[in-house]
Amino acid sequence: MQFAKRMDRFGAGIFSKLLEIKNEKLEQGGQVIDLSIGAPNIPPAEHIRQALCEAAAKPENYIYAISDRTELLEAVAEWYQRRYDVKLDAGTEICSLLGSQEGLAHIAMTVVDQGDVVLVPDPCYPVFGDGPLLAGAELYYMPQRRENGYIIQLSEIPEDVARRAKFMVVSYPNNPTTVMAPDSFYEELIAFAKKYEIIVLHDNAYSELVFDGKTCGSFLHFPGAKDVGVEFNSLSKTYGLAGARIGFCVGNAQVVAQLKNLKSNMDYGMFLPIQQAAITAITGDQECVAVTRRAYERRRDVLCDGLKKIGWEMEKPEATMFVWARIPDHYEKSEDFAMDLVEKAGVLVTPGSAFGPSGEGHVRLALVRDEEELNRAVEAIRRSGILEGGQHA
């Protein structure tokens, strides 16, 4: 059999590889505390689950959705006005996604042609680059360096690259580096995109998981943002609806229209009971969002404080459901450290190299276990001795 050359660019996804390692360890009778994939273990609030169940019990809801219900689009518009002070036109500036991952995988197909340049963060969530690669794009990595607070330095992008670029992806609060961007970055981003006629996609999946009393808004709140791009938002982490696959593309009407057109040729819309769950989540009692935020903040404190006590120095994240940590000095490669960590301590994390060239030297830990399990992970790492020098050549 012969297959598409584009598939030569892709191996098995990092999370599939990590799952294989986890399963092998379990089959050997070992125990694994999985902090690799960001799979939320906090379920949706009762009123959201109830709305889903009631809608799923109705026989008439098993037809093809085809498109988004008017009630859903209006609910998203109201949500963005209330939460982010952003006015959206329900009919032209909102499109549902079968999870942000689906949208990120497909939107580049509506923007770029073979050989066009797409700007992506480095490190970044893998699909930020994989989606454009599927569309035949050439990637240019925008480094997020520690010395710059992990904020992209747009002024460092070469003039010829900026002029060739058609599309760029940015995301703050950032996965995996966990930082938020200052207002000045968004102002510079919008000016940059206008100057070089680049379409911007801002991924805003973690705006509710912000800690220590800080808050986070929307890219679209800044003047001129809708002129240059769109924002993706997700109910996966905020409302515990990860498996339901609910996301939205909002903003520039032309970009939204193109994505809607593509999706009309690829899927039959979001299952109607899931649309009802989404409506209930974003229009109902929002105390569940605060409860989820507090849970992740406590988990962050338990894990980071515990690991610091046993000698693994790291900075506490100011946002997201992740910790971005430098590997011990006696390791050169993040993958080596991650493999040793699961072998010796039974704790599975994601090597930073999976997120791009600048991710090397780090690992990402997901706060997806309760506090008791996180304490057990800390103790297992302490007992393993892996943080001590000389454990790895």
Question: Tens digits of per-residue pLDDT, 336-388?
Answer: 999 999 989 999 999 999 999 999 999 999 999 999 999 999 999 999 999 98
Task: Give pLDDT, residue 11.
Answer: 64
Percent with pLDDT over 90 in the chain: 89
Per-residue pLDDT reduced to its tens digit, 203-225: 999 999 999 999 999 999 999 99
Is the separation of the CB atoms in 65 and 272 below 8 Å?
Answer: yes
Domain with residues 46-284, CATH architecture = 3-Layer(aba) Sandwich (3.40)
Same fold, 5-43+287-384 and 46-284: no
Euclidean distance between CA atoms 32 and 26, whole angstroms: 7
| CB environment 175-195: b (16+ within 10 A), e (fewer) | bbbbbbbeeebbebbbebbee
Average pLDDT over every residue of 313-342: 95
Give the residue extent of every domain in the chain.
5-43+287-384, 46-284
Superfamily of structural domain 5-43+287-384 = Aspartate Aminotransferase, domain 1 (3.90.1150.10)
Reduced to 3 states (helix: H, G, I; strand: E, B; else coil), residue 199 is: strand
Count the Cβ atoms, other than its own, within 10 Å of residue 131.
Answer: 25
- pLDDT tops 70 at residue 183: yes
Closest among 232, 259, 220 to 108, alpha carbons compared:
259
- Residue 12 is predicted with a pLDDT of 62
User: Which tens digits make up the pLDDT trace of 81-106?
Assistant: 999 999 999 999 999 999 999 999 99
Which are the contacts of 231, defined by CB distance < 8 A and separation ≥ 6? 201, 202, 203, 204, 218, 219, 220, 225, 249, 250, 251
pLDDT in tens, 277-293: 999 999 999 999 999 99
Q: Before 176, cis peptide (omega within 30)? A: yes
Spatial distance between the Cα atoms of 259 and 103, rounded to a whole number of angstroms: 8
Residue type, 248: F
Q: Output phi, psi for 186, to 5 deg.
A: -65, -35
Residue 236: per-residue pLDDT: 96
Is 314 in contact with 325 (CB distance < 8 Å)? yes
Closest listed residue to residue 168, CA positions, set 123, 121, 127 = 121
The residues that bridge with 231 in the sheet, in sequence order, are: 202, 250
